[in-house]
């Protein structure tokens, strides 16, 4: 996973609530067995017409938002399906940071696992950032994860909260499986507790 | 196992019994008892293991099924869509390489992962159960902590049999009283989502409680827990009781004999203690719940069947008003119109929400002696091969076929249209599935969520309608 330290980039405004993961990447594109290549179909239903031509009204089809690396939305971003294809599609498009008043839990978690920083901020602040994002070529925000601040186009600073463990993982670009495997002995001893004797094992022989 | 004297919730107890270790910042290493795997969200995880040279830690706690991509028509032929075929072949290669128990396409027990797990006794009370699928919340009906995860976490579970988690908040949704005729678990859940909103459960695990919940059979409880995610919750739970134990007993992978009795003794200790703390409490009266449908593109857009489609002017926030207008445009509805009487083109009875034998019985009761309207394509997609066989043993297939329904093979099907079962642009569907998002059942498709009996009523009348009217008529 790529590190996330500091990002200065175009922010795209998507002033909608409940942007679900089916919108971010429709199910028909989930047939891939890879993580990459989904960016061209991110937001496919809104981005393209039925003939596959770009819809000129859709924000990510406009300049400078084709280069957007930050998305700003309203409540409950990423609701619905657990598909990690949603953050994969965003990442493949170029998005590294998503800002909203609230996120669906699974999507929020999936972002961190892919080097995308999700930032929760109150609706009033999202409204202000949405205003910044609407300023076209002047919609550049700086996200500083080390200092936990957003620097707005005019230089105003907005602080944000992030879970310290996840911040550390992003700053270092760490994969958490390796860290958990360091607890292998504890996992093994947990598995062999007498109180877990009732938990059956599943074998190929019993599967029909 | 930590012993606590203060009253605890069902969630608190299952959580505490699965904490392997607690990291400095409070993140827990949570042990996972069952990992269910399907073909869509697993290939990248298996590939990750392979690249890192890691083993799959507990193949004997892992079960794979193929459900999202499978055709629900004739299965004697190879799968036509090359990408679907590749995804299924990739799963088959992976389960063989890593030694994972697997229900293949042509197994008599193949079906939707959230139907197969409980049906086989793979999912049991008191367990932690995960799957790369948000509707894993279904298994909470058994009194298991079950939730959906992304593919990176699928890989984490494969490698470590654990997840890094922080405890969720506790929410209790109590539904007291008795529901009226024609009102099902689906209507109860739609009413709950309509009340709390699609983000109302964010950060919480919902325990469903109250007499109306205890009265539900296991299929109904699964419908309820299934759609916890549509209320934004991490998971849904129903405390295991005698209904649960009777359901679990004798299932192929459930504990047997003495082991079953021991397990039951443990499961009986799991119910929330008197006085346990819930961060959020919501109460509904069962008598207030009526057969419902959704009108818009979010599961919270719920209307009683005698309701009126809302107007953007009902909403103060301009962003919300714009969203309502967008939903009206997408759904081809007019503000202020009655939802009842809206003509449908397609009826889909199936999905991990409503494809169990009890759901098919409820639909058949409405369909018996009637015929699908000439303008409607109506399909039944049982949740598993075993559900299909059991329905056929009761003659339900004949009722549906005689009425003009398609009687198909098990799979996710038109819930999300990864296989050929899709709506075409503009088609309107009464669907027993769980999501009415734009394009969910096919690009441009219009979904109205409802119960199996309401979907059956729409099929025979050709319009969204009140199933209670049909129940009054003698056929």
DSSP per-residue codes, B261-329 = HHHHHHHTT-SPPTT---SEEEEEEGGG---EEE-SSSTT-EEETT-B---GGG-SSHHHHHHHHHHHH
Please write the tens of the pLDDT for every residue from B139-181. Answer: 999 999 999 999 999 999 999 999 999 999 999 999 999 999 9
Please write the tens of the pLDDT for every residue from B37-88. Answer: 999 999 999 999 999 999 999 999 999 999 999 999 989 888 999 999 999 9
User: Per the annotation, where are the binding residues of B?
Assistant: 352, 412, 415
* Predicted confidence (pLDDT) at residue B3 exceeds the cutoff of 60: no
Facing residue for A208 by CB, picked from B62, B107, B416: B107
Q: How many other CB atoms sit within 10 Å of the CB of residue B257?
A: 7
Q: What is the pLDDT of residue A70?
A: 98
**B263/B238 Cα distance (integer angstroms):** 17
**B199/B34 Cα distance (integer angstroms):** 27
Among B80, B160, B258, B322, which would you mutate to test the A interface (most chain A Cβ atoms within 10 Å of its Cβ)?
B160
Facing residue for B84 by CB, picked from A26, A31, A102: A31
Give me the residues paired with residue A140 across strands.
A10
Q: What is the mean pLDDT of residues A193-204?
A: 90
Percent of chain B scoring above 70 in pLDDT = 99
Q: What is the mean pLDDT of residues B246-258?
A: 96
In the stretch 132-151 of chain B, residues with CB closer than 8 A to chain A read 132-134, 148-151
Facing residue for A105 by CB, picked from B155, B203, B320: B203
Tokens encoding B130: 């995960």
Chain A hits for B255, CB-CB cut-off 8 Å, are 198, 200
**Sequential DSSP letters for A13-43:** EE--S--BHHHHS-GGGTT-SSSSS-GGGTT
Q: What is the 3-state secondary structure (H, E, C) of B216-229?
A: CCHHHHHHHHHCCH
In the sheet that B128-131 helps form, which strands lie side by side, from edge to edge?
Answer: B102-103, B62-65, B34-37, B128-131, B145-148
Contact A104 B253 (CB under 8 A): no
Q: Which residue has the higher pLDDT, B475 or B219?
A: B219
**B322/B219 Cα distance (integer angstroms):** 38
User: Per the annotation, where are the binding residues of B for [4Fe-4S] cluster?
Assistant: 352, 412, 415
Facing residue for A207 by CB, picked from B101, B160, B266: B101
Q: What is the mean pLDDT of residues B403-430?
A: 97
* Predicted confidence (pLDDT) at residue B216 exceeds the cutoff of 80: yes
Q: What is the mean pLDDT of residues B257-268?
A: 96
Chain B hits for A80, CB-CB cut-off 8 Å, are 134, 229, 435, 437
Which residue carries 């009102």 as its tokens?
B183
Please write the tens of the pLDDT for every residue from B88-130. Answer: 999 999 999 999 999 999 999 999 999 999 999 999 999 999 9
Element holding B46 (H helix, E strand)? helix B43-52
B55: nearest Cα among B18, B99, B101, B102: B99
Q: Quick one: closest CA in B to A114, which residue?
A: B152
Is the CB of residue B155 less than 8 Å away from at least one CB of chain A? yes
* Predicted confidence (pLDDT) at residue A102 exceeds the cutoff of 70: yes
Q: What is the pLDDT of residue A204?
A: 65
pTM reported for the whole predicted model: 0.97
Contact A177 B159 (CB under 8 A): yes
Q: How much is the ipTM here? A: 0.95
Percent of chain B scoring above 90 in pLDDT = 96
Average pLDDT in chain A: 95
Contact B41 A104 (CB under 8 A): no
Q: With cut-offs at 50, 70 and 90, classify the pLDDT of residue A208.
A: very low
Contact A106 B319 (CB under 8 A): no
Please write the tens of the pLDDT for every residue from B263-319. Answer: 999 999 999 999 999 999 999 999 999 999 999 999 999 999 999 999 999 999 998
Average pLDDT in chain B: 96
Alpha-helical segments (H) within chain A: 21-24, 44-47, 85-93, 105-112, 123-133, 164-172, 176-181, 184-191
Among A82, A108, A201, which would you mutate to test the B interface (most chain B Cβ atoms within 10 Å of its Cβ)?
A82
Contact B160 A198 (CB under 8 A): no
Which residue carries 């004999």 as its tokens?
B257
Tokens encoding B442: 């096919």
Contact A28 B418 (CB under 8 A): yes
Q: With cut-offs at 50, 70 and 90, classify the pLDDT of residue B475.
A: low
Contact A177 B44 (CB under 8 A): no
Closest-CA distance, A143 to chain B, in angstroms, reads 24
Q: Which CATH number fits domain A6-196: 3.20.19.10, 3.40.50.12780, 3.90.1580.10, 3.40.50.300?
A: 3.20.19.10
In the sheet that A6-14 helps form, which strands lie side by side, from edge to edge?
Answer: A117-120, A97-100, A70-73, A6-14, A140-144, A149-151, A157-159
Task: Count Cβ atoms within 10 A of the Cβ of residue B280 and give its class: 0-12 exposed, 13-18 middle, 19 or more buried.
Answer: middle
Facing residue for B425 by CB, picked from A50, A183, A184: A50
Task: Count Cβ atoms within 10 A of the Cβ of residue B317 and give its class: 0-12 exposed, 13-18 middle, 19 or more buried.
Answer: exposed
Q: What is the mean pLDDT of residues B188-206?
A: 97
Give me the residues paired with residue B346 across strands.
B377, B429
Q: What is the pLDDT of residue B374?
A: 98
Contact A33 B47 (CB under 8 A): yes
Chain B hits for A32, CB-CB cut-off 8 Å, are 83
Q: What is the pLDDT of residue A156?
A: 97
The greatest distance separating any two alpha carbons of chain A, rounded to the nearest whole angstrom, comes to: 67
* Predicted confidence (pLDDT) at residue A130 exceeds the cutoff of 80: yes
Element holding B162 (H helix, E strand)? strand B162-165
Q: What's phi and psi for B175, nearest 5 deg?
A: -120, 110
Chain B hits for A106, CB-CB cut-off 8 Å, are 134, 148-150
Task: Tell me the domain boundaries of chain A.
Answer: 6-196
In the sheet that B280-285 helps form, which strands lie side by side, from edge to edge?
Answer: B235-237, B204-209, B169-176, B280-285
Q: Quick one: closest CA in A to B424, which residue?
A: A50
Q: With cut-offs at 50, 70 and 90, classify the pLDDT of residue B4.
A: low
Please write the tens of the pLDDT for every residue from B325-374. Answer: 999 999 999 999 999 999 999 999 999 999 999 999 999 999 999 999 99
């Amino acid at each position: 996973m790529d590190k996330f330290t500091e990002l200065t980039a175009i922010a795209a405004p998507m002033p909608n609530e409940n942007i679900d993961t089916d919108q971010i990447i429709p199910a028909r594109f989930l047939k891939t067995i890879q993580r990459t290549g989904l960016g061209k179909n991110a937001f496919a239903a809104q981005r393209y017409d039925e003939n596959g031509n770009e819809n000129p009204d859709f924000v990510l089809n406009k300049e400078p938002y084709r280069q957007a690396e930050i998305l700003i939305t309203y409540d409950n971003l990423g609701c619905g399906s657990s598909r990690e294809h949603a953050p994969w599609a965003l990442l493949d498009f170029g998005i590294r940071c998503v800002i909203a008043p609230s996120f669906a839990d699974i999507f929020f978690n999936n972002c961190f696992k892919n080097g995308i920083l999700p930032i929760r901020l109150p609706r009033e602040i999202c409204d202000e950032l949405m205003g910044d994002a609407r300023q076209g070529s002047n919609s550049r925000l700086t996200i500083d994860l080390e200092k936990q601040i957003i620097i707005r186009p005019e230089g105003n600073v907005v602080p944000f909260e992030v879970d310290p463990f996840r911040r550390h993982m992003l700053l270092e670009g760490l994969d958490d499986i390796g860290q958990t495997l360091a607890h292998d002995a504890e996992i093994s001893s947990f598995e062999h507790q007498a109180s877990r004797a009732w938990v059956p094992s599943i074998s190929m022989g019993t599967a029909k | 196992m930590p012993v606590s004297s203060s009253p605890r919730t069902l969630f608190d107890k299952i959580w505490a019994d699965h904490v392997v270790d607690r990291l400095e910042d409070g993140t827990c290493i949570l042990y996972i008892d069952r990992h269910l795997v399907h073909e869509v969200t697993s290939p990248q995880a298996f590939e990750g293991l392979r690249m890192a040279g890691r083993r799959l830690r507990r193949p004997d706690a892992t079960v794979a099924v193929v459900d999202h991509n499978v055709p629900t028509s004739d299965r004697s032929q190879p799968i036509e869509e090359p990408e679907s075929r590749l995804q299924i072949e990739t799963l088959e290669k992976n389960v063989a390489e890593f030694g994972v128990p697997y229900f293949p396409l042509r197994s008599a027990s193949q079906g939707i992962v959230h139907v197969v797990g409980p049906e086989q006794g793979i999912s049991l009370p008191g367990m932690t159960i995960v799957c790369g699928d948000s509707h894993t919340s279904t298994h909470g009906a058994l009194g298991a902590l079950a939730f959906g995860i992304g593919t990176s976490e699928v890989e984490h579970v494969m490698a470590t049999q654990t997840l890094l988690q922080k405890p969720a908040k506790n929410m209790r949704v109590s539904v007291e009283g008795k529901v009226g005729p024609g009102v099902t678990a689906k209507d109860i859940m739609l009413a709950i989502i309509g009340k709390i909103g699609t983000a109302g459960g964010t950060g919480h695990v919902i325990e469903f409680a109250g007499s109306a919940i205890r009265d539900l059979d296991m299929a109904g409880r699964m419908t309820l827990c299934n759609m916890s995610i549509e209320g934004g919750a991490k998971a849904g739970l129903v405390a295991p009781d005698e209904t649960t134990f009777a359901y679990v007993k004798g299932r192929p992978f459930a504990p047997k004999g003495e082991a079953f009795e021991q397990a039951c003794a443990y499961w009986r200790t799991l119910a929330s203690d008197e006085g346990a703390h819930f961060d959020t409490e919501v109460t509904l009266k069962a008598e207030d719940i009526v057969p419902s449908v959704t009108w818009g593109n979010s599961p919270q857009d719920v209307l009683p069947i005698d309701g009126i489609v809302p107007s953007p002017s009902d909403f103060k926030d301009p962003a919300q008003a714009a969203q309502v207008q967008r939903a009206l445009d997408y759904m081809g509805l007019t503000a202020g119109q009655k939802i009842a009487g809206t003509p449908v083109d397609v009826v889909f009875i199936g999905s991990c929400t409503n494809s169990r034998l009890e759901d098919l019985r409820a639909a058949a009761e409405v369909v018996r002696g009637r015929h699908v309207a000439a303008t409607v394509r109506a399909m039944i997609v049982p949740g598993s091969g075993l559900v299909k066989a059991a329905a056929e043993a009761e003659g339900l297939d004949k009722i549906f076929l005689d009425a003009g329904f398609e009687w198909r093979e098990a799979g996710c099907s038109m819930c999300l249209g990864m296989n050929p079962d899709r709506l075409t642009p503009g088609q309107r569907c009464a669907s027993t599935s769980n999501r009415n998002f734009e394009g969910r059942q096919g690009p441009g498709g219009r979904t109205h969520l409802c119960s199996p009996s309401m979907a059956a009523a729409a099929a025979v009348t050709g319009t969204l309608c009140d199933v209670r009217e049909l129940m009054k008529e003698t056929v």
